[in-house]
Amino acid sequence: MKNPGCNHHRPELGDLTDRLRREARRITGPRQAILRVLQAHPSPMSNKEIFAALPKGECDLATVYRSLHLLEDIGLVERFDFGDGTARFEMARGGHSGHHHHLVCTSCNAIQAIEDCLALDWESRISQESGFKMVTHKLEFFGLCPQCQKT
């Protein structure tokens, strides 16, 4: 099927190579390190969090910002916005179950993924009714997690 070769455990890194090559982009230490951090983390991370999780001195914060833009552009990572003024990123989940949302605790910021996409149906309906094309959406949920309810 797809992985022809040595990509057994980290298909994303191989994917990175392919995509970057295709775009005449370079495979650098910082970019690989950032992807490794994202792969190891289950929920969206901010630039600062990614930077902090990087082996110290691995790269500059500005490079983290630049790399994430690039990785987002080529579709390797996905950007989320929880409304707190900081962007967060997650490895893009390729294919079927790709699109998803989150449930964020308004008190402790715990994040839980919501696996279904709940709004895809509406995109076409809204497109029809409004005349807009290429309709997408952003949807996130907020609430008080079980832990924080106790206090």
- We find the least distance from the C-beta atom of residue 57 to DNA, in angstroms, to be 7
70 binds DNA (CB under 7 A): yes
Which two tokens mark 149? 């309810």
Say which DSSP state 150 is in: H
Chain residues in the site for a copy of itself (CB under 8 A): 81, 83, 85, 103, 105-106, 112, 114, 118-119, 122-123, 126-127, 130-146, 149
**C-alpha to C-alpha distance for 132 and 124, rounded to whole angstroms:** 10
With CB under 7 A as the contact rule, which of the stretches 28-36, 109-117, 122-130, 131-139 interacts with DNA?
Answer: 28-36
* SS3 state of residue 81: strand
* Phi, psi for 92 (deg, rounded to 5): -70, 130
| Region of residue 102 (phi > 0: left; psi between -120 and 50: alpha; otherwise: beta) | beta
Q: Which of DNA, a copy of itself, none sits in contact with 135, Cβ below 5 to 8 A by type?
A: a copy of itself
Q: Which of a copy of itself, DNA, none sits in contact with 62, Cβ below 5 to 8 A by type?
A: DNA
Q: Identify the H or E element spanning 51.
A: helix 47-53
- We find the least distance from the C-beta atom of residue 49 to a copy of itself, in angstroms, to be 18
Touching DNA, residues 110-149 (CB under 7 A): none
62 binds DNA (CB under 7 A): yes
Q: Do 3 and 11 form a contact (C-beta atoms < 8 A)?
A: yes
Chain positions contacting DNA, by CB under 7 A: 20-21, 24-31, 46-48, 58-63, 65-67, 69-70, 85-87
